[in-house]
Amino acid sequence: MARLLEFDDVHQAFGDENVLRGISFGMDRTDVEVVIGPSGSGKSTLLRCVNRLTEFDAGDIRLNGESVTAMDVDALRRRVGMVFQGFNLFAHRTGRGNVTLGLTEVRDIPSGEARRIADENLARVGLSGQADSYPAELSGGQKQRVGIARALAMEPELLLFDEPTSALDPELIGEVLEVMRDLAEEGMTMLVVSHEMGFARSVADTVTFLDDGIVAERGPPEQLFEHPERDRTREFLGELDT
């Protein structure tokens, strides 16, 4: 059976800059994969190639064995949810409205039913009381949890997290990671770009260290964090510790 997600020698350049230089790895259903690496290593680009917010130049990315480039892009995005570093909540819609838009317009669910699903997913991220609040009235952590609920409500096969806690004040990071931890336990397949090593260590099945557009090292967190094979990995992890 085909793997849920497979990167096959993915290349991507912006002008002269080769951001991705041949990425290959795969993940299965219920896997939690955390991608780490220095800034500019291509982590976010890799993520955005999956739902084709960025179109890659060469190689292939397959979802359940089917090339994402062959799929209708809107259908692909409906199957692959995304959570952004900057939240990107629809500013003119309430917490609930953020969740229902995709339900009513993409999944063609009647508005009453969409409301029910939205409230269910908001409850799942602990925001039942904030359904009627606008993004400007929410804290960063609450915004990001609405972002997660918005992606979850589409019932995606795979959730992409693009540095979901990087824009948050330190005291707000915990509540978002807590939600992500719960999702992992429920069996959600997640591809996470993050600098939260604690989260990677305790939740990830596999950690990928991306450096200069290639997979420099990849393995279970205990191996990668405790016994990195490459000097570059050791160096990067060392920089984080200091």
Partner 1 sequence: MTDRRGRGVDVGDLPGARRLVLVGVGVLFWGWLLARWLHDWVLAPDVNTSDREPFVPPARLEAVAEQLHDLAAGAGAAAGLLEWLAGGVEFAAFGVDSMPALAAGAWITVYLTVLSILLGLMIAIPLAVARTYGGPVLRWIALSYTELIRGTPLLAQLFVLYFGLPTTRYIREFHGVGEGFVPYAAIWVAVIGFTINSSAYQAEYIRSALQSVDPGQLVAARSVGLSRLEGIRYVVLPQGLRYAIPGWTNELVYLVKYSSLAAFITVPELFRAARNIGSDTFRVLDIYLVAALFYLALVLTLSVAMSRFEAAVAIPGVGSASERD
Smallest gap from residue 226 Cβ to partner 1 (A): 35
User: In angstroms, what is the minimal distance from the CB of 88 to partner 1?
Assistant: 4
Q: Does 88 bind partner 1 (CB under 8 A)?
A: yes
Q: Smaller CB distance to partner 1: residue 37 or 81?
A: 81
Task: Tell me the closest approach of the beta carbon of residue 142 to partner 1, in angstroms.
Answer: 13
b/e sequence 70-97, b meaning 16+ C-beta within 10 Å: eeeeeebbbbbbbbbbebebeeebbbbb
Pick the binder of partner 1 from 105, 132, 155, 171 (CB under 8 A).
105
Full DSSP string of the chain: ---SEEEEEEEEEETTEEEEEEEEEEE-TT-EEEEE--TTSSHHHHHHHHTTSS--SEEEEEETTEEGGGS-HHHHHHHEEEE-TT----TTS-HHHHHHHHHHHTS---HHHHHHHHHHHHHHTT-GGGTT--GGGS-HHHHHHHHHHHHHTT--SEEEEESTTTTS-HHHHHHHHHHHHHHHHTT--EEEE---HHHHHHH-SEEEEEETTEEEEEE-HHHHHHS-SSHHHHHHHHHHH-
Considering the complex, state which of residue 77 and residue 124 has its C-beta at the smaller distance from partner 1. 77
**Contact flags string 119-158 toward partner 1, x per CB under 8 A:** ---------------xxxx------------xx--x----
The one among 43, 77, 115, 145 contacting partner 1 by CB under 8 A: 77
Rule CB under 8 A: say whether 172 interacts with partner 1: no
Q: Which residues between 32 and 71 bind partner 1 (CB under 8 A)?
A: 51, 53
What's the min distance (Å) between Cβ of 170 and partner 1? 19
Shortest Cβ 147–partner 1 spacing (Å): 8
Question: Smallest gap, in angstroms, from Cβ of residue 95 to partner 1?
Answer: 12
With respect to partner 1, which residue has the nearer C-beta, 34 or 154? 154
* Binding footprint of partner 1, residue count (CB under 8 A): 26
Beta-strand relationship, 32-36 and 5-14 = unpaired
3-state DSSP helix/strand/coil percent for the chain, to nearest 5? 40, 25, 35
**CB 136 to partner 1: min, Å:** 3
Q: Which is nearer to partner 1, 105 or 226 (CB)?
A: 105
Residues lying near partner 1 in the complex (CB under 8 A): 51, 53, 74-75, 77-78, 81-82, 84, 86, 88-92, 101-102, 105-106, 134-137, 150-151, 154
